[in-house]
Amino acid sequence: MSLALGLVIIPLLAALLMLLWPRLARGLQLAAALLCTILATMLLQLVQQEGSQQLFIGGWNPLLAIRWQADSVTALLLLLSAVLHLLVSGYALAVQQRDKLAAAFWPLSSLLLASLQALWLSRDLFNLYVCLELLGMVAVALVTLSGDKAMRPALHYLLFSLFASLCYLLGVALLYGAYGALDLPLLQGQLQANSLTAAALVLITLGLMLKAAWWPLHLWLPAAHAAAPAPVSALLSALVVKGPLFILVLVWTTLAPAAFLNVAAYAFLVCALGALLLAGVAALRTPYSKTLVAYSTVAQLGYAMLALALMLSFNLPVFTAALWLFVMAHALAKAACFLSIGEMQQTLGVKKVAQLKGASQTMPLAMFAFAVAGGSLIGLPPSGGFLAKWVMLLGLWQAQQYFLLLVLLVATLVSAAYIFRVVVLAFDRAEPTAPDFSPQLLPQWLALLPALAVWAMAFFSMPLLAILQQELS
């Protein structure tokens, strides 16, 4: 379990050292990111061999101490965030001079990693609150790095985030008052189906839905993610919104009394339909390229919601697998999308989708990265998005949910429409937008890397499913 501690402490320490010696920031960032990736890999191996690991911080007994747990899903998420952090750090290093990336990026992004890793590990309602709050603050601070134009979206984000945290905290306080425990495994099965529990769960869910930008509470997300610098958008869309999602899944699969599950499933289902269809249409209509990608995040989160709703209403392990596969595939693909779009925006000096005209001639590599990542968002084989969708499809056929199959079909076509809205434009040969300076190759390759990784994911479906299945048994 010292591995797990290391995963949180190393980035935290790195952030502190960066504040002390700003000159060493870049070196520290890379070293910490590399170290975290290695540790996360080792932890995953450990969990696979010896089953899930537990740690009680401070060595107290479970009632007092904070419980951290590294099960297989957590280990996968730890590895995912470490790898993406490493990649985005590499990208930031490659473009920092050109894009005039603020020095605050380095300590903040390390803090982001630390709070996120702690969130994946924590199994204590209050500790989760702390991680969530920290994560939100750091995320807001990162959005403001874009300068004045990002202030308004950042402020909105901050307000929504604070309100959401308060909701969550209130819910947790209610639960603590009634049951006297914050530890998730201790609370498991204890909650009674009364109005107090209901109120607490509604508050917690509302807060988390706001933070995770679940439709229809997503209003802050497109502006904030679009305003942030490209590496920050990549981190926010790929990882940060998955944090509250993770807690939601924990709360609803371990805490909630069985009597509430059906209602919750319906509510989540409605949100999922709204996200998949309406946010998809919003992505189709927005004139700005980064907003398009941001709306696509809201839409893609709909798959996770759908999987959660189905998890709650059917006792089929496929949906759990589908949920985490969606999370992983989306994280990789979205990082690639934001990095490639950001790269094109910077080089071509444009913001609108229509101005990406001819990008496949001027910046073929970045455009290719976007298209490849988009293929996974659509769910084309053989990509991670396909794998997730395939697993979900099998479950839906098994559960005979014909209406949802139809929804999935339409949602797939909508996502194809907004991805290819950009890609088709890139092949326009008449008056392509000329680059402001000659395109740099390294950042484009770094944008392509996660896109290739998400396609490679499909070929590791057996081990991935085995790891996720380990969780279920």
Q: 268 burial class (0-12, 13-18, 19+ CB within 10 angstroms)?
A: buried
For another protein, which is the closer residue by CB, 40 or 371? 371
- Shortest Å distance, C-beta 334 to another protein: 20
Question: Is residue 472 within the footprint of another protein (CB under 8 A)?
Answer: no
Candidates 89-97, 134-142, 177-185, 418-426; binding stretch for another protein (CB under 8 A): 418-426
Question: Is residue 420 within the footprint of another protein (CB under 8 A)?
Answer: yes
CA angle 224, 31, 25 (to 5 degrees): 60
138 CA to centre of own chain: 15
Question: Is residue 465 within the footprint of another protein (CB under 8 A)?
Answer: yes
Paired tokens of 48: 């696979």
Q: Are the beta carbons of 62 and 56 closer than 8 angstroms?
A: yes
Q: Which of 130, 176, 428, 435 binds another protein (CB under 8 A)?
A: 428
Give residues 442-461 in contact with another protein (rule: CB under 8 A). 458-459, 461
**Between 344 and 363, how does the x/- string for binding to another protein read (CB under 8 A)?**
--------------x-xx--
Distances in Å between the Cα of 428 and the Cα atoms of 189, 347, 355, 440 are 59, 18, 11, 22
For another protein, which is the closer residue by CB, 186 or 399? 399
For another protein, which is the closer residue by CB, 39 or 367? 367
Candidates 52, 107, 42; CA nearest to 79 is: 42
Q: Which of 427, 437, 441, 472 binds another protein (CB under 8 A)?
A: 427
For another protein, which is the closer residue by CB, 21 or 427? 427
- For 57, the enclosing helix (H) or strand (E) is strand 53-57
Q: How far apart are CA 305 and CA 333, in angstroms?
A: 18
* Residues contacting another protein: total by CB under 8 A: 35
Paired tokens of 411: 């949602």
**Between 378 and 417, how does the x/- string for binding to another protein read (CB under 8 A)?**
xxxxx----x-xx--xx--xx------x---x--xx--xx
Question: Is residue 370 within the footprint of another protein (CB under 8 A)?
Answer: no
Question: Is residue 99 within the footprint of another protein (CB under 8 A)?
Answer: no
Q: Which of 20, 193, 424, 441 binds another protein (CB under 8 A)?
A: 424
Q: Are the beta carbons of 376 and 386 closer than 8 angstroms?
A: yes
- Shortest Å distance, C-beta 347 to another protein: 19
Q: What is the 3-state secondary structure (H, E, C) of 321-370?
A: HHHHHHHHHHHHHHHHHHHHHHHHHHHHCCCECHHHCCHHHHCHHHHHHH
Candidates 427, 323, 322; CA nearest to 371 is: 427
For another protein, which is the closer residue by CB, 427 or 437? 427
Q: 198 burial class (0-12, 13-18, 19+ CB within 10 angstroms)?
A: middle
- Shortest Å distance, C-beta 179 to another protein: 40
- Shortest Å distance, C-beta 103 to another protein: 37
Query: Which residues make up the interface to another protein (CB under 8 A)?
Result: 358, 360-361, 364, 375, 378-382, 387, 389-390, 393-394, 397-398, 405, 409, 412-413, 416-417, 420, 424-425, 427-430, 458-459, 461-462, 465
